[in-house]
Copies of this chain bind each other. A is one copy, B any other.
Amino acid sequence: MSEKRKQIIEAATKSFSLFGYKATTMDQVAKMANVGKGTIYTFFKSKEELLEDIVSSIISEIKREADAAIDHRLSFNENVQRALQRIFTFRKEHELTIKLLQEVRDIGTPAVRDVMKRLDREMIAYVREKIEEAMAKGEIRSCDPELTAFLMFKMYIALNVDWEKEHEPLPQQKIAELFDLYLLKGLSRR
């Protein structure tokens, strides 16, 4: 990949993380990347596409990390937990996702809203794949994979994000227990 392109991505990532999407100007990005503004437009057709490309890399990175957390000697239940835990730890600790989620909450910038929705959808699709694999192998009983992945994801959001709005945060250990108790026990083969 072109060196300039890399500089631009790096500068934009830094600026989006620091100031958010809306507050980042293309002049700003050009200056930080040490390129002319026009150069940005030889690699990306708009500011929005620049954001989309960056978030696509983030998505790949998250999937890579989730995959790395999976250990094929462990059960489906344990692995789906480990993967979801990695996904949500990333969301909570990665500067860019923190800032963009804030921006959606506080300003509601449409471009950012869309891109974060895509991130959620892709994470659900990722979980769905794992479920389909486990079903094919007979590790779990048959179920609607889309619906199951959706519920797992929503439950993780409830435990990791929503609960903290009105209560003490739950430790990861506790979240894992609850997820297992409430969601997986009902799903595993008898």
Contacts and interface: CB of A to CB of B under 8 A. Distances in A.
A146 B167 CA distance: 10
Nearest to A184: B186
Contacts of A154: 154-155, 158, 162
A126 interface: no
Per assembly, the copies of the chain total 2
Interface residues of A, number: 23
A18 interface: no
Interface of A: 121, 143, 146-148, 150-151, 154-155, 158-159, 162-163, 166-167, 178, 181-187
B187 A182 contact: yes
10 contacts: A121-B166, A143-B181, A150-B163, A151-B159, A151-B178, A154-B158, A182-B183, A183-B183, A183-B186, A186-B186
B163 A158 contact: no
Contacts of A167: 146
Contacts of A158: 150-151, 154-155, 158
